Amino acid sequence: GAVVSQHPSRVICKSGTSVKIECRSLDFQATTMFWYRQFPKQSLMLMATSNEGSKATYEQGVEKDKFLINHASLTLSTLTVTSAHPEDSSFYICSARTGGSYNSPLHFGNGTRLTVT
């Protein structure tokens, strides 16, 4: 069964509005969660690493003021896309590890398909 839950699975919003995406670890605590983005026919690209109780680490080229990440508890991380624009339309996926080793595989949420009109 799923170990990482993501909500909503699909959202359509108007340009200029903000959208919040939730990522929950089920039955395990995740001090770290990862947020990826995937454009059509492209590979998953890491946007940021969400750390419980501290600031997120953003990848180069990802605007931290536009993509707000909050990891307030050991089971929940949220990504807020602020002032969304059509170019932000993409598939956003969160992930976490159930294993303690950083070499263990990631488990993904079911993803959020964002369409900005």
Partner 1 sequence: RKEVEQDPGPFNVPEGATVAFNCTYSNSASQSFFWYRQDCRKEPKLLMSVYSSGNEDGRFTAQLNRASQYISLLIRDSKLSDSATYLCVVTAYGGSQGNLIFGKGTKLSVKP
The footprint of partner 1 (CB under 8 A) covers 6, 32, 34, 41-46, 49, 57, 91, 93, 97, 101-111, 113
* Closest CB 83 distance from partner 1, rounded Å: 26
Q: Give the chain's largest Cα–Cα span.
A: 41
Phi and psi at 80, nearest 5°, equal: -115, 120
* Closest CB 70 distance from partner 1, rounded Å: 18
Distance CA(50)–CA(65), nearest Å, equals: 14
Distance CA(115)–CA(89), nearest Å, equals: 5
* Closest CB 43 distance from partner 1, rounded Å: 4
Q: How many helices (H) and strands (E) does the chain have?
A: 0, 11
* Closest CB 66 distance from partner 1, rounded Å: 20
Choose between 17 and 42: whose C-beta lies nearer to partner 1.
42
Choose between 67 and 109: whose C-beta lies nearer to partner 1.
109
Distance CA(111)–CA(90), nearest Å, equals: 10
Choose between 45 and 72: whose C-beta lies nearer to partner 1.
45
Choose between 30 and 116: whose C-beta lies nearer to partner 1.
30
Judge whether 7 and 22 are in contact, CB under 8 Å: yes
